[in-house]
Amino acid sequence: MQAADLFEQGLRNAEIARRLGVAHQTVSDWRELYEAGGRDALKAAGRAGRRPKLSAQHLDDVRAALEKGPKANGYPNDLWTLARVAEVIEAVTGVGYHKGHVWRILREQLGWSRQRPARRAVERDDEAIRDWVKNRWPQVKKAPGAGAR
């Protein structure tokens, strides 16, 4: 209906597309409907865009599984990765997603944010790090081309 308001203001399709954040072709399609049947024709056009693969119930089920934690979902430690979340989504809903898209689901649909571990890794060896910085780093820094090793 925002597009109809903008049509009535006499704005061009390109400007409407920019303001609404949609493709120019989408605005052209809307304008064609609007000119043929007014606002009622736009209402009858249905939803814009692709239907989501995950229903609200699916999202609730995924949220519940993720809130149990990675170990409860069969992983050896308490660290969520996008690949692990993708596996849980598929196990819970039967819908597969590329791990790159999983972040959008977490952020936009589940309201989660990126977190970093609050503690250092158990495997961290501060003495070995100090020794490397003191003894090995000066050698690497001095040697031409040694940094590529």
Say whether pLDDT at 83 is over 90: yes
Query: pLDDT value at position 53?
Result: 81
- Tell me how far apart the 2 most distant CA atoms of the chain are, in Å: 79
Spatial separation of the C-alpha atoms in residues 134 and 144, rounded to whole Å:
19
Q: How many CB atoms lie within 10 A of CB 72?
A: 11
Query: pLDDT value at position 27?
Result: 87
Residues 18 and 62 placed together within one structural domain of the fold: no
Evaluate whether residue 141 is within a structural domain: no
Residues 102 and 63 placed together within one structural domain of the fold: yes
Residues 69 and 101 placed together within one structural domain of the fold: yes
Token pair for 48: 């814009």
Mean pLDDT of 118-138: 85
Evaluate whether residue 36 is within a structural domain: yes
Residues 63 and 97 placed together within one structural domain of the fold: yes
Mean pLDDT of 65-69: 94
Q: Domain total for the chain?
A: 2
Model confidence at 62, pLDDT cuts 50, 70, 90, reads very high
Which structural domain, as residue segments, surrounds residue 92? 56-109
Token pair for 18: 């920019």
Evaluate whether residue 116 is within a structural domain: no
Query: pLDDT value at position 26?
Result: 86
Evaluate whether residue 16 is within a structural domain: yes
Residues 64 and 86 placed together within one structural domain of the fold: yes
Average pLDDT, the chain: 85
Spatial separation of the C-alpha atoms in residues 26 and 30, rounded to whole Å:
6
Residues 40 and 60 placed together within one structural domain of the fold: no
Residues 66 and 87 placed together within one structural domain of the fold: yes
94 touches 61 (CB < 8 A) = no
Evaluate whether residue 128 is within a structural domain: no
